[in-house]
Homo-oligomer: A and B are copies of this chain.
């Protein structure tokens, strides 16, 4: 639950410890390719991980033959098999399939960007994002992360989680992203109390200048928060409060649809 993943950002220089050395190396390779945006080359991997070229070569060969990597003329990419595997992750899968129809409804009603996110290692990870043509501005990506305290979904998740989860999130957050980002633990606690009162969280350009949103918590049958649902739009024309009821309604709908699934993460 409180398992901090090694930061996937920046150079993955082998700081991951596995009891089985080979596996550690293999993941170092994957981590590097991931950090490089899904595409790299053998030499670059060797340089970045500090592993000798022949070793990387051997690992890459196995990864390719399984489908975790894909080789082209002069590049190596994450392979399709990883996508397929990733879609089988139960937590994500159940949530996504339950939430999607309601997210569609929200999109059709608002024509703004709709997000579904969960908490992982103190960060918000986006499970689904629905968006139209105009939304080049949103800095989010399905499968991407954001510091929890700086986002609407993050706040709505933390508000209904025990205090130590909040601590983890604060520590994992990193530097504020905008002038309005909540960077102090005290201010955050107060904000979370407000969220609990009102039932929704707002993001007033706290994660990205010019971007605002409303988020509502999604609870499971047992009454634990499992995800956050949000509508986001540009600060100018978009008034998040107007959609407060809509997100709440959608969130309730998702809860109703959720199978009996344990909290998980």
Contact = CB atoms under 8 A, between A and B. Distances in A.
Interface of A: 3, 5, 8, 16-20, 22-24, 26-27, 30, 34, 37-39, 58-59, 61-63, 65-67, 70, 72, 77-93, 96, 100-101, 104, 107-108, 118, 120, 125, 127, 130-133, 141-145, 262, 264-265
A62 B101 contact: no
Contacts of A93: 38
Contact of A86 (B3, B17, B24, B84): B84
A92 B80 contact: yes
A141 B87 contact: yes
A122 B67 CA distance: 14
B84 A125 contact: yes
A87 B144 contact: yes
A144 B96 CA distance: 14
Contacts of A5: 66-67, 81
B59 A78 contact: no
A58 to B, nearest CB: 6
A39 B17 CA distance: 25
Nearest to A93: B38
A85 B88 contact: no
Contacts of A100: 130-131
A133 to B, nearest CB: 4
Contacts of A70: 91, 264-265
A265 B78 CA distance: 12
B142 A130 contact: no
Given A22-B23, A83-B86, 7 more contacts: A5-B66, A5-B67, A19-B58, A27-B66, A80-B92, A83-B125, A101-B131
B65 A90 contact: no
A143 B90 contact: no
Contact of A18 (B8, B62, B87): B62
A80 B91 contact: yes
A22 B37 CA distance: 27
B18 A265 contact: no
A44 to B, nearest CB: 15
Contacts of A96: 142
A83 B72 contact: no
Contacts of A141: 87
B83 A20 contact: no
Contacts of A143: 83-88
